[in-house]
Structure 1
Amino acid sequence: MTTVMEQLQEQDPSLTTTGSGDVAVLFIHGFLDDQSVWDDVVSELATADAQLLRLDLAGMGDRSGDEGPYSLQRYADDVARVVAGLDKPVVLVAQSMGTLVAELVGVRHPDKVLGAVFVTPVPLAGTHLPEEAVSSFRQLGGDVEAQRGVRMYLGGGLNEFGLDKLTYIGSRIRPEVVTHLVDCWNEGIPDAPQKSEFSSPVLIIRGEADGFATAELVSSAVAPRFQHVKEEVLSGAGHWPHVQQPQNVAGLIGRFLLEISEGSATAPGGAGAQGWINAFASKSADDFGEAFHRDVVLEASVIRSPITGRENVKTVMSAASSIYESLEFTQQTVNGPRTYLEWQATAFGGLRLYGVTILTKDENGQIVSAAIHHRPLDAVLRFSAELSKRIGKAVGESRFYSAD
């Protein structure tokens, strides 16, 4: 009598599994890759109480000879078949283009997929790069040197071993397949919902030096779509942190699995700093409120005295977010309950502002204090005066600078 795994492997001979446990972790690779990119991460997770599974998507790896279609829907069908066949709950771990597949699968199996880890993700709606940029990616098929060049450019300091491994993997993919794969991540899913239908916890792992899944792209078009999301930034990593820093990536995945098992990954307010970032993207007072403790305290260089209480701080932050014409969170560091966010923004017709925000969370992940430091001085004074015009009567005009 065949086992569940044997039946699954009959359907997809590329499917491999190691370990055992009450939860399965299914790894999904990205563009120009195959399942072997997860080898070192899986090795680091060998002691985890989980079954670790990997597979090749059609047209890549040991399935490089598979015929089309090479589409996100076809890949989601293949992965969903594995998820449906497992006799245990699943956590999906995916990278780049694979994160689109993982989200589609998570939506199909909301009761079985406990959570997802998205490594250097791209938007479900696609990146929609201009044709001149996309054409260079379409021409990568069969061009080993060009592939190596792209890996070097986006890899954020990949060593020679990592470059050699990734280039070899990509060289196995037929040129006509590469063309379709580019369309997958560039065009994405038509009419993708602004808010994801996948409601389980999501951990985003981003490489600080990634020139593709940038801080701006993730904070504006990926993270705000999810209800329960956390973001971790790996210093010195590029678009393939699972190849470049497998130990760090495995550590974050292991911690996420532990949080899932303890139920803390879905705790109200657990998004913490990510809730703050999401609120800036939506410019919604209610979204800010979800991240705040009832007695939150706000201090900032644009106000003369602290502002206390969730409703008052919501009012200030909603008004402040509407002043910014653009805002990008460029660095993030976590030290215990404190998160340090570095950012840059524009306002007042292109005036540049820079700053650092320090968020302190309680044991439930809610923000209990926020300290915001703006620069330069001229921009600080103008920003304070503008806040006075917009909300001075609501929270006290004496708190703000007046040019009069």
Structure 2
Amino acid sequence: MKIDRVGDTDVRFRRNGAGSRAVVLVHGFLDDQHVWDGVIAELSSEDVETVQLDLAGLGERTEATGPFRLDRLVSEVIAVVDALNKPVVLVGQSMAAPIVELVAVARAERTLGLVLLAPIPLAGTHLPDETVGTFRALGGNPSAQRTLRQQLSTGLGEADLDRLTVVGCRVRTEVVSALVDCWDTGHPDGEKPSSYTGPVLVVRGADDGFVTAEVVVRGVLERFGDVETVTLDGSGHWPHVEQSSAVAALLDTFLTKTRPAGDTSRDVKSQQWTTAFAEKSADSFGKAFAEEVVLDATILTRPIEGRERVQQVMAAASGIYDALAFTHEATQGPRTYLEWKAAAFEGTHIEGVTILTKDEHGRIVRVAIHHRPLGATLRFSAELRDRLLGRIDPTHFHNGDR
């Protein structure tokens, strides 16, 4: 772990791990960067760096001077993204959802995806004056803050409530009031479709009485084109704290889906096999194969032989994956061993090892693919059978009807 700073400003950000991509996690109203610690501890994605920061006036920056406006908060996160100088997935909770969306629009060429947890709409909440007044009055009031968190969550334990209350009560009253104005007023771009066109994952807690299902549908989902939504049981407004393992698993899947096409770990050399998975075409796979190539796999009841048949199977198989990344490589003699992780069927994790055996000309003569877990393997086999009906004998695959 290391701490970096943006120029000579007070914007500092915490970096954990190393990788070709970064996950930038931005906290919500009255919170701090450490609300993400539980999620980060549960992440299993490789070749990914995690980045946390405190927004102006919050966390370790309670002495920051104003103004505390939305454009200032957005510009600070943009500065962090620029300092990283690598592709990013942006994650924001509650009032940080509008922040990371605007960052994604400003840095679309660098943003691989957007994850919004319990998202306040970019257009704002526009609450009644009385309700807004209640939120403004939270500054310096530990009893009111603790009560609010209890009302809006089902999974926050006593220790979580204690810590978050302490963090929130350090925020100056004028900062609390200004931030309420930020997320209640919103941004005019929230009244139209989002300018960010990349993949978006929206997560809300089933028991969140503030960001309700209706708020998410009307204020968030309808504004994005490529969007997926998940509702977590046993969670309210802080799913990343209440259900950190579940949120980490969702983030791992999203990271796999948003990995750049053909991207591999730095431990894996780019080669015809990995390129073929990125291109998902029979011709691309065929370029790597010898005429007499044999495919053996845990998704098959018996091997498939011959270049034409094997390349058809591999092209169809690559099309089933929502995403696939090769993570490790080892070579011994004519054999190359490739470990990989993938996502399919809108969220199912699949992992495995592929063994490629090559002849003296470097052409692949045998492919052995080992998938896990069993349930996903059987489902994959049945799906492949259906996609190849009329081209490959269906008895090569699992009969999903049994």
TM over 0.5: yes
Question: Hey, what does 1:123 align to over in structure 2?
Answer: 121
Residue 25 of structure 2 is matched in structure 1 by 27
Q: Partner amino acid for 1:30?
A: G
Look up the match of 1:113: 111
2:177 matches 1:189: no
- Mapped to 2, the partners of 1:245 and 1:93 lie a distance apart of 16
Q: Which residue of 2 aligns with 1:248?
A: 246
Contact 1:41 1:249 in 2 (8 A): yes
Question: In structure 2, do the counterparts of structure 1 residues 182 and 149 end up closer, same or farther at CA, with 3 Å as the change threshold?
Answer: same
Report if aligned partners of 2:122, 2:189 keep a CA contact under 8 Å in 1: no
Q: Give secondary structure in 2 for the equivalent of 1:59.
A: coil
Could you tell me which residue of structure 1 aligns to residue 148 of structure 2? 150
Distance 1:175 1:5, change over 3 A: closer
Coordinate RMSD, CA, aligned: 2.4
Greater share of helix residues, 1 or 2?
Answer: 1
| 1:220–1:196 CA distance, 2 compared to 1 (3 A) | same
1:13–1:77 CA distance, 2 compared to 1 (3 A): closer
Structure-2 residue corresponding to 1:387:
none
Match of 1:229 in 2: 227
User: SS in structure 1 opposite 2:113?
Assistant: strand
Count of residues in correspondence between the two structures: 268
Q: Name the CA shift for 1:84/1:255 in 2 (closer, same or farther; >3 Å).
A: same
- Shift, 1:48, TM fit: 3.4
- Report the alpha carbon displacement of residue 86 of structure 1 after superposing the two structures with TM: 1.7
Q: Tell me, what secondary structure is at the counterpart of 1:205?
A: strand
What SS is found at the alignment partner of 2:235?
Answer: coil
Q: 1:159 matched to which residue of 2?
A: 157
SS in 2 for 1:192: helix
Residue 190 of structure 1: how far off its partner (Å): 3.0
Q: Tell me, what secondary structure is at the counterpart of 2:187? A: coil
For 2:146 and 2:5, how far apart are their aligned partners in 1?
37
**In the alignment, which of 240, 256, 259 is matched to residue 257 of structure 2?**
259
For 1:61 and 1:14, locate their aligned partners in 2 and report how far apart those are by CA, in whole Å: 11
1:169 is the counterpart of 2:137: no
Cα distance in 1 for residues equivalent to 2:57 and 2:228: 32
1:263 positional shift? 5.3
Separation (CA, whole Å) in 2 of partners of 1:191 and 1:39: 31
Q: Distance in 1 between matches of 2:346 and 2:251?
A: 20
Tell me the alpha carbon deviations over residues 8-63 of structure 1, each in whole angstroms, 9 at most, x when there is no partner.
37544531110011101101001011101111111112653211000000000110
Letter matched to residue 135 of structure 2: F
Query: Is the Cα–Cα contact under 8 Å of residues 121 and 190 in structure 2 kept in the other structure?
Result: no
Change (3 A) 1:153 1:6: closer
In 1, distance between residues paired with 2:346 and 2:170?
Answer: 46
1:67 matched to 2:57? The reply is no
CA distance in 1, matches of 2:208, 2:258: 27
The equivalent residue for 1:319 is none
Preserved CA contact (<8 Å) 1:212 1:239: yes
Measure how far apart 1:161 and its partner are: 1.4
Distance in 2 separating the partners of 1:206 and 1:29: 15
Cα pair 1:213 1:239 within 8 Å, conserved: yes
Q: Give the conservation status (yes or no) of the 8 Å contact 1:92–1:116.
A: yes
Residues 14 and 63, structure 1, Cα contact 8 Å, conserved in 2: no
CA distance in 1 between counterparts of 2:5 and 2:147 reads 40
Percent of residue pairs bearing the same amino acid type:
46
Aligned match of 2:86 in 85, 88, 100?
A: 88
Q: Quote the residue 2:37 is aligned against.
A: 39
Superposed CA offset, 1:236-292 (max 9, x none):
10000111111111110011000111659xxxxxxxxxxxxxxxxxxxxxxxxxxxx
SS in structure 2 opposite 1:73?
helix
2:218 matched residue in structure 1: 220
Aligned residue identity for 1:247: S
Structure 1 alignment gaps of length 5 or more: 265-334, 339-361, 364-404
Q: Aligned in 2, Cα 1:199/1:5: closer, same or farther, shift over 3 Å?
A: farther
Structure 1 stretches of 4+ with a deviation exceeding 4 A read: 4-7, 335-338
Indicate if the aligned counterparts of 1:28 and 1:93 stay in contact, CA closer than 8 A: yes
The residue number in structure 2 matching 1:385 is none
Alpha-carbon deviation of 1:157?
A: 3.8
1:313 aligned partner? none
- TM-score, scaled to structure 2: 0.63
Structure 1 residues 131 and 10 mapped into 2: Cα distance closer, same or farther (>3 Å)?
Answer: same
Q: Match of 1:238, SS?
A: coil
* Aligned partner of residue 261 in structure 1, secondary structure: coil
Match of 1:54 in 2: 52
Post-superposition offset of 1:336: 6.2
**Within 2, Cα distance between the matches of 1:39 and 1:337?**
26
Q: Distance in 2 between matches of 1:174 and 1:72?
A: 17
Query: SS where residue 161 of structure 1 aligns?
Result: helix
